[in-house]
Chains A and B, each alone.
Chain A
Amino acid sequence: DADVTQTPRNRITKTGKRIMLECSQTKGHDRMYWYRQDPGLGLRLIYYSFDVKDINKGEISDGYSVSRQAQAKFSLSLESAIPNQTALYFCATGLAGRDTQYFGPGTRLTVL
Chain B
Amino acid sequence: TQLLEQSPQFLSIQEGENLTVYCNSSSVFSSLQWYRQEPGEGPVLLVTVVTGGEVKKLKRLTFQFGDARKDSSLHITAAQPGDTGLYLCAGVETSGSRLTFGEGTQLTVNP
Residues on A lying within 8 angstroms of B by beta carbon are 4, 35, 40-45, 48, 50, 58-59, 90, 92, 99-106
Sample (5) of A-B pairs whose CB atoms are under 8 Å apart: A40-B104, A43-B90, A50-B97, A100-B33, A105-B41
Contact among B1, B41, B102 with A42 in the assembled complex (CB-CB below 8 Å): B102
Chain B residues lying within 8 Å of A100, measured Cβ to Cβ, are 33, 45, 48
Majority-rule SS of B interface residues: loop
**CB distance B98 to A103 under 8 Å?**
no
A40-B9 contact in complex given A100-B45, A100-B48, A105-B42, C-beta closer than 8 Å: yes
Closest CB-CB distance, B19 to chain A, in whole Å? 19
Chain A residues lying within 8 Å of B90, measured Cβ to Cβ, are 43
A43-B41 contact in complex given A99-B31, A100-B48, C-beta closer than 8 Å: no
**CB distance A90 to B42 under 8 Å?**
yes
